[in-house]
Structure 1
């Protein structure tokens, strides 16, 4: 017979087994922290990372493949309301800015439910402006929708400010 301390561990383990075979872990016990990136959200995180890498490399064609046709990009008080509008406009500036930037990830949270996922990221971005080093504190939220072709970004919101 299990000791009183082992009973909750055994019970939790038995609850987890059926879900583990489905690729989903159960919610953590009350008071425990949820993982920053939920297992079900990892494919969406991979899509965000692929988009970001392509943008930083200046490969707008590859970056565009990760965007839904009707993506909404909000940045610096402006909005682009489609993949075409973003790629023909602000994407070039974003790629140029990121080309020489050093992006240092600090925190990421991601969740998925059904065919929707969101990925929130916090980073420090180290750049040079007018020959002087500048560090920006940056936040990014991306909402993705699962399609027949995989996860596609339907919304991006970027925000940053200089670190003091």
Structure 2
């Protein structure tokens, strides 16, 4: 069952990355490193949040992840999973986000993911239309990429 989930996740991730690029000649340079295993973890994390898959989202985070958002900090994957993860999932299910730029640089067992998105939609009766920015630091732990730090802003 776990293998089927991994294969489905990779297929969806590949599909999302292919669709996110649009006209490659116009966007050349805005999408770098998107085919790396670290980048695929970032995309799988976003997909898990968007689809409400708490188990997968949690599994992609390092236990000691730090998450900065809106002037607040969460200092572990468990803290995030028990607090803001569910509200993030509800929010992301209600809005549409388009990836404008995504660059991933791998430096040994560390990777840095930087992206910009355009988000539109209505949530709790309020219209949303903004560009967001995200920085993630990933670390290879036990042969798997884990998200060690996230900074979200808009």
Task: Tell me the TM-score normalised to structure 2 length.
Answer: 0.76
Residue 155 (1) aligns with residue 149 (2): yes
Whole-Å separation in 2 of the counterparts to 1:142 and 1:99: 21
Residue 87 (1) aligns with residue 81 (2): yes
Give 1:34 shift. 6.8
RMSD over aligned CA atoms reads 1.9
Whole-Å separation in 2 of the counterparts to 1:137 and 1:74: 17
Task: Tell me the TM-score normalised to structure 1 length.
Answer: 0.72
Runs of 4+ in 1 over 6 A off after TM superposition: none
Residue 135 (1) aligns with residue 129 (2): yes
Residues 153 and 81 of structure 1: CA distance in aligned 2, closer, same or farther (over 3 Å): same
Residue 37 (1) aligns with residue 59 (2): no
The one of 83, 91, 100 equivalent to 2:94 is 100
Residue 113 (1) aligns with residue 107 (2): yes
Counting helix residues as a fraction of each chain, which structure ranks higher? 2
Give 1:52 shift. 0.7
Q: How does 1:28-67 map to 2 (within 5 A)?
A: 36-38=31-33, 42-67=36-61
Whole-Å separation in 2 of the counterparts to 1:110 and 1:148: 20
Higher alpha-carbon Rg: 1
Number of residues of Structure 1 aligned to a counterpart in Structure 2: 127
What does residue 10 of structure 1 align with? none
Provide, for residues 15-59 of structure 1, a one-character-per-residue CA deviation record: whole Å limited to 9, x for no partner. Answer: xxxxxxxxxxxxxxxxxx9784237x7111000000110011111
Give 1:85 shift. 0.3
Whole-Å separation in 2 of the counterparts to 1:68 and 1:55: 16
